[in-house]
Amino acid sequence: MAELSAVTLTTLLALPGFCVLHVLPDSDGSLQLTVAAKARMGVCPHCHGVAREVHQTRPAKDIHDLPLGRHPVRLKVLVDQYKCAGCRKAFTPAIPFLAEGSHATERFLERAAQMIDFGDVQNAAAFLGVPERSLGRWYADYVRRRAAAASARPAKPVTRIGIDELSLKKSTASSSP
C-alpha cells in the first residue's frame, strides 16, 4: 500500500474524536493503526465535573475494523483513564465506536451482521479473517445490544393514518347502486 499519512488515515477512518498516531504495515498486508483521543479530557460519571488529569493510559489492542481496500485493519486504541479533581475518583470514559465485549468496532460488527444475515457465520468469519466462534459470540452480543436499544426508545405518537385504497374501493363498490 502506498504510504498514507496519519492525517489521511484519520480522515479515512472517521473515528469521532480520535486521530491516527502511528501506522505499521504488517508483512501479511494488514495495517496496524495506533489511535488516540484528540482531546484528553472526560466528564466524571460520579460528580459530572470535567477531568483533565490522565491517571493512566492503556492500549486496547487488535481491534478489528473495516478493511481499507484489500488491507485488513487492526487498531490499537489508547484508552485514557482519568482522575477527577472534584471527587478524586478514577474513571474511563466510554469510547462509542468500540463494541463492548469484543475486539471490534461497531461498524465492523454492523457489516459482519449484514453478511451473516445474508449468509452465515462461517462464511462471514472466513471473509473477514476472524475466528468463527469469536464472530458468532460478537454477533449474538451485537444483536442483543441493538434489540435492547430499540426497545429502550419510546414509541412515537401516531401522526398520520394511511387508508388502504383497494379495501376502500371494494367496500364502496359493493354499496353503490
CB-CB contact of 30 with 74 (8 Å) = yes
Q: Is 135 helix (H, G, I), strand (E, B) or coil?
A: helix
State pLDDT tens for residues 40-76: 888 888 898 888 888 889 998 999 999 888 888 999 9
State pLDDT tens for residues 141-167: 999 988 888 887 777 787 777 766 666
Q: Strand 42-43 and strand 53-68: pairing?
A: unpaired
Q: pTM of this prediction?
A: 0.75
**CA 109 to the chain's CA centroid:** 7
Closest CA to 93 of 139, 33, 48: 48
